[in-house]
Amino acid sequence: MKHKTPADIERTSMEIISAELAEQGIVLHPSQAPVVRRVIHATADFDYVNQLRFTPDSVERLVERLRQGTVIVTDTNMARSGISKRALEQLGCGVHCLMGDADVAELAAEQGITRAVASMRLASERYPNALYVIGNAPTALLELSAMTEQGFRPAGVIGVPVGFVNVVESKEEMLSACEQWDIPGIFVMGRKGGSTVAAAVVNALLYIATDTLDPARRGWH
C-alpha cells in the first residue's frame, strides 16, 4: 500500500476531496473550506457542500473563542470523544457532556422533559459562555433557541442533529436565532448530520486555531 501512515492518508484524502470539488467547479469560501472538507472527509458525502450553512464570520469568530479557551458542551458522549484532545489541551479548552449526569435525569423526570433539554438547561447555568455542539438531539437545539429568546448568549452554536422528527425545524429556528442575536453558528440544514459531523466541525475549528490543519503538525507520522 502506498499510503500507510495516518498523516499521509489524511493528507491524500484531503487532496482527493479538493480535486473532486474542483472537477465540479465548486469554489469554497477560504475561511469555510477547512470545515467543509473535514466534514466531507468524515462522511465521504459531498452533499454537505450545499447543506453546510455559516453565519457571517462564524469560523473566524469561533476560532478566536477557542483560542481564548472557550468551554465546549456537546449533546452526546460520542461527539465529545471524537473531539481532538491534543488540540483541546493546547488551547486550554474543556469539553463536557451532561447527558449521563444524575441531576440531568432527575430534572428530566421532575419536569417531564427529555434529557437533552434538561442537559441544556443545566449546562446553560454551569457553562453560560460555552460553544454548544449539537449532533444528535433536535430537542436540545430547540431548547437553545428558546433560551436565546430569554437572553441566553452562548459563545456559539454548532447545530447538526440528524434524523426525521423536529430536525429540520430545529436547525432553521436556531440559525434564525443566531442571525437575530449575532451568535456565531455553523449548521447542516436538512436531515443529515450526527455526532461524527459535529466532532468534524469542531476539529476543523480546533486545527485552524492551533495551526495544525496539516496532520504532520499534530505530531503524526
Tell me how far apart the alpha carbons of residues 65 and 209 are, in angstroms, rounded to a whole number. Answer: 9
Alpha carbon of residue 191 to chain centroid: 15
Active site residue 96: no
Active-site annotation holder among 3, 41, 96, 221: 41
Single-letter residue type at 194:
G
For 159, list phi and psi in degrees, rounded to 5.
-115, 100
Contact by Cβ (8 Å): 64, 131: no
From residue 170, how far is each of 73, 101, 190 by CA, in Å?
A: 18, 24, 10
Residue 60: partners with Cβ closer than 8 Å, 6 or more residues away? 31
DSSP 8-state class, residue 131: E
Active site residues: 41
